[in-house]
Amino acid sequence: MQKITVLCVGKLKEKFYIDAQAEYVKRLGRCCKLELMELPEQRLPENPSPAQIVQALETEAVAIREKLPKGGAVVALAIEGKPCSSEELQRRLADFAVSGKAQVTFLIGGSFGLDESLKRSADWRLSMSPMTFPHHMARIMLLEQIYRAYQIELGTRYHK
């Protein structure tokens, strides 16, 4: 069974996000070994300077690297990444498993994204859309798409 880790900067606070996450965690429990990790987002002033943002992202990157599972594939969610269909996500997950990368870690940055070094070192940069979404919503969307990918692989009616 494939191991999926979703490593997120920031904590879910709104009940509707927490409930949605719980639903997909429950569903994914039948498809993979899922682990969710939340890391604290660096506090920044109301109007941070570019240097303050870079410093915060670098600090978050250190914390992310400390928690990254060893081996496996790393997928960084980034607006400049490559968008894909649900079917392509399913193929990528299957390809990772076949190539010996049974562990796949998805990285979701905080409100300012991910540090450039993390994005450069990732096996794949994935864009959910050219539109901007709150990082909490991106987490729920990613969990749904991972679930959908497994349902495509199983041939269920979930993906029409």
pLDDT at 135: 84
Q: Coil, strand or helix: which one is 99?
A: coil
pLDDT digits (tens, 9 = 90+) for 37-95: 999 999 999 999 999 999 999 999 999 999 998 889 999 999 999 999 999 999 999 99
pLDDT at 159 over 80: no
The domain ranges of the chain are 3-42+51-153
Q: Are 39 and 60 in contact (CB under 8 A)?
A: yes
Task: Answer whether CATH 3.40.190.10 is correct for domain 3-42+51-153.
Answer: no
Query: Residue 103 belongs to what H/E stretch?
Result: strand 103-108
pLDDT digits (tens, 9 = 90+) for 90-113: 999 999 988 888 899 999 999 899
Is-above-0.85 flag for pTM? yes
Cα–Cα nearest to 108, from 71, 137, 69, 73: 137
